[in-house]
Chains A and B, each alone.
Chain A
Amino acid sequence: QKEVEQDPGPLSVPEGAIVSLNCTYSNSAFQYFMWYRQYSRKGPELLMYTYSSGNKEDGRFTAQVDKSSKYISLFIRDSQPSDSATYLCAMTPGGTPLVFGKGTRLSVIA
């Protein structure tokens, strides 16, 4: 079993839809959870960061971590064409290299 599993998509939604992106993981030592966004031909950029379990909201984006289920989610409300990108989850116990999911490609259609 891979340490981090992420559905690669592609995921195509109409503009204004609520998007749910998910990752599951197997290492119970993971404490720090991140979502990176990567536009085509660009490097990944940090979108959201969460420590341990719980929710974090930033504008239209909400990150959720459920450590008991080893499951993390990123919700995008009122999705826009500019949200079209690949979304990568990443996690670490802290102080060790990040472990990335393979990324989910999202297309938001106007």
Chain B
Amino acid sequence: EAQVTQNPRYLITVTGKKLTVTCSQNMNHEYMSWYRQDPGLGLRQIYYSMNVEVTDKGDVPEGYKVSRKEKRNFPLILESPSPNQTSLYFCASSRTKTLNTEAFFGQGTRLTVV
């Protein structure tokens, strides 16, 4: 089954404690991205990757890091989480950047930073 898998689904952490949210896709997609979704603000892109070792900032990259060492994996790293990073996070993938029209989303990770 084609899917994008995120882990964990729910996470509560304390300010400043480094964390990683994993994302893996099994469709051999080149293009992957991370979004955060907040009430009243909608989906905003954090980072994206066009292929292995190629990443770029989205609209709201501050406080986040990513890496793309393998095609299937695109982890999101919060080096020093803060309460304003409490949000619902989605990983998405699509075949290529040009064919980004059909993005497959993961189930989401609800992060709370206290």
Contact = CB atoms under 8 A, between A and B. Distances in A.
Interface of A: 8, 32, 34, 41-46, 49, 88, 92, 94-98, 100-103
A48 to B, nearest CB: 11
Contact of B105 (A8, A34, A43, A102): A43
A88 B42 contact: yes
B57 to A, nearest CB: 10
Interface residues on B, range: 20 to 34
7 contacts: A42-B108, A43-B108, A45-B104, A95-B98, A97-B48, A98-B45, A101-B42
Interface in B2-52: 4, 33, 40-43, 45, 48
B90 A44 contact: yes
B70 interface: no
A24 to B, nearest CB: 15
Contacts of B100: 92, 95-98
Interface of B: 4, 33, 40-43, 45, 48, 58, 90, 92, 97-98, 100-108
Given A100-B43, A102-B41, A46 B98 contact: no
B107 A42 contact: yes
A88 B45 contact: no
Contacts of A8: 40
Contacts of A42: 107-108
B99 to A, nearest CB: 9
A44 B42 contact: no
Given A43-B106, A97-B33, A97-B48, A32 B41 contact: no
Among B42, B92, B100, residue most surrounded by chain A Cβ atoms (within 10 Å): B42
Given A44-B43, A97-B48, A102-B42, A32 B101 contact: yes
A103 B42 contact: yes
